[in-house]
A and B are shown apart, each in its own frame.
Chain A
């Protein structure tokens, strides 16, 4: 089923700020095989000049997609999640994410298009502090295989 183009431009705000914790950063770093001490130990991060433990570059995936779940689960969009694969992902950083950050995330559906029999949907997530400082942007493109058929 073709995806509902009326969803383009809709924005979804995460229900609560995401609180970045040292434990979560360390768990994520371990899962991606990264023993860099600035991801695991506050003292190592501080010694390297950081305010606290640093998040790896793909860490925003942990929270930047949560607001999109509301859209993906909306039957009016028409997305068959079993047929979805990840096509592209992009992050643009204004500064590193640190443990202790409280991050607000707003996700906007920026594009839906057909390529052959597949449907491509692109989201942009704007991640900022409560003071309005932009921390990073995440762009996510998924493919629904066969969705345009």
Chain B
């Protein structure tokens, strides 16, 4: 294996509305459901909740710290459970497969952001190039 070992799981939180609003300001997604109590309740939610792309981006942070921001080829995110103020999130990942693709050594990883309940908030799948690794000639890539 030429893939560096996955970093230890990254614990974030308890998360706050300030975290959500800081992300909203940075991303430009000002949907009031993430900060306006009355708006959230009118839409059927008990309180404002996090922006899905915030916790997805935490997984991006975990992954690029692991394998390098310049090496990412794709990043696919599925949003599962909402994240609420006070939640404690744990971001982690594992290698799915390592293979050659068009002359590059690549690795597919699966990333998970879990809430303190054990529920999955976000799952993501990503492909990175392993720049130091030479293709081994096995045409097992997709």
A residues near B (Cβ < 8 Å) are 24, 27-28, 30-34, 36, 38-39, 48-50, 54, 56-58, 61-63, 65-66, 81-93, 96
Contacts and interface: CB of A to CB of B under 8 A. Distances in A.
B6 interface: no
Contact of A36 (B43, B65, B79): B65
Given A32-B57, A57-B64, A82 B74 contact: no
Interface in B32-57: 33, 39, 42-43, 52-54, 56-57
B58 interface: yes
Chief secondary structure at chain B's binding surface = helix
Given A33-B58, A58-B60, A88 B77 contact: yes
A91 B74 contact: yes
Interface residues of B, number: 36
Interface of B: 12, 19, 22-23, 25-29, 31, 33, 39, 42-43, 52-54, 56-58, 60-61, 63-65, 69-70, 72-79, 126
